[in-house]
Amino acid sequence: MDNVAIVVDDLAAAVAFFTELGLEKEGEAEMEGIVPDQMVGLDGVRSAIVMMRTPDGHGRLELTKFHAPEAVAAQPPHPAPHTLGLHRVMFAVDDIDDTITRLRRHGAELLGQVAQYENVYRLCDLRGPSGIIVALAERIG
C-alpha cells in the first residue's frame, strides 16, 4: 500500500493533529489540471495535499483539502463506526492515555472509552479533525 487519502476541511488542523500523533510531513503540493480531474472523475479540481509519513516510514497519509469543487460533507455528518466503507485509521502508540491527552488539545473526542482486549492491547476510537475516526492501540502484553 502506498497511502490512505483523507479529505479534510482544515488542512492546517489535520496536519497539527497527525503531527501530534507522531507523523512527519513528507511533502506538500497544490494539484490542479487534467491529471487530478481524470483521476477522481471531477472537472476543475484544485486541491492542496500534504503527505504525512508514519515514524517507521512504512505508512503514509495523504491529507487533501479541496478548493474546487468544494468538498461534500458525509451524510450523516459523523457516521457511526459501523457504517459501510473506509471509516477509520488505527495507529500503534506507546502510551494511550498520554496520546489521548495530547490529541484532545487538537479537538479529539473519545467515541466510547478505552477498552482492554485480554492482556494484549488497550484500544480506543477518537473523532478527530473533519470527523475522521482514528483508533489507537497500545500493546500491553
CATH 3.10.180.10 spans which residues of the chain? 4-68, 88-139
CB atoms within 10 A of CB 6: 19
- For domain 4-68, give the CATH number: 3.10.180.10
0.95 exceeded by the pTM? Answer: no
Model pLDDT for residues 40-99, shown as the tens digit of each residue: 999 999 999 999 999 999 999 999 999 999 999 888 888 887 887 777 899 999 999 999
Model pLDDT for residues 6-46, shown as the tens digit of each residue: 999 999 999 999 999 999 999 999 999 999 999 999 999 99
Fold of 88-139: 2,3-Dihydroxybiphenyl 1,2-Dioxygenase; domain 1 (3.10.180)
- In whole angstroms, give the CA distance from residue 24 to residue 55: 7
